[in-house]
Amino acid sequence: MCDCLICERIELIKKNKNPYFVRELNTGYVVIGDHQRIRGYSLFLCKQHATELHFLEPSFRQEFLREMSLTAEAVYNAFQPEKLNYSLLGAGRGLHMHWHFHPRRKGDTPKPGPVWQLGDELLADEYLTTPEELTELKERLNAELDKLL
């Protein structure tokens, strides 16, 4: 068993124990971010444990990128940001490829720039969603995915 946070999250989805799960697509899983400092923050987790796009078989990679794009459009439509930021990152226990979608709005960070400037504030307990908020976010994103899929 590898020590991978994303694999652990996917296993919870498969066991129906990940409350942030929104929808399964062919190549990945759409989830709402645990912390909502940036409202509408969502992710797309790759089904394959790979660290880089070029490690994916070409046809899977093409479908993964298509589904990522559809997920991004659904996030944009659901949360109506001024700008949607996309990130394919990995560090620590999260080297498994996963896209971050941050719906950005004027003044959502102290100064213009990436959300990462917020540091630990992004993961502050005060930004964990309530069950009611989580249900609303998931319903909004699922409705937009329905329209696109």
List the domains of the chain with CATH numbers. Answer: 5-148 (3.30.428.10)
Percent above pLDDT 70 for the chain: 97
Please state, for a pLDDT cut of 90, what percent of the chain lies above it: 93
Query: pTM for the complete prediction?
Result: 0.95
Output the pLDDT for position 90: 76
- Quick one: pLDDT at residue 16? 98
The mean per-residue pLDDT over the stretch 107-120 comes to 94
Distances, alpha carbon 140 to alpha carbons 32, 52, 125, 137, 147, in Å: 11, 30, 23, 5, 11
- pLDDT for 39-84, tens place per residue? 999 999 999 999 999 999 999 999 999 999 999 999 999 999 999 9
- pLDDT reading at 1 higher than 70: no
Q: What is the pLDDT, as a whole number, of residue 45?
A: 97
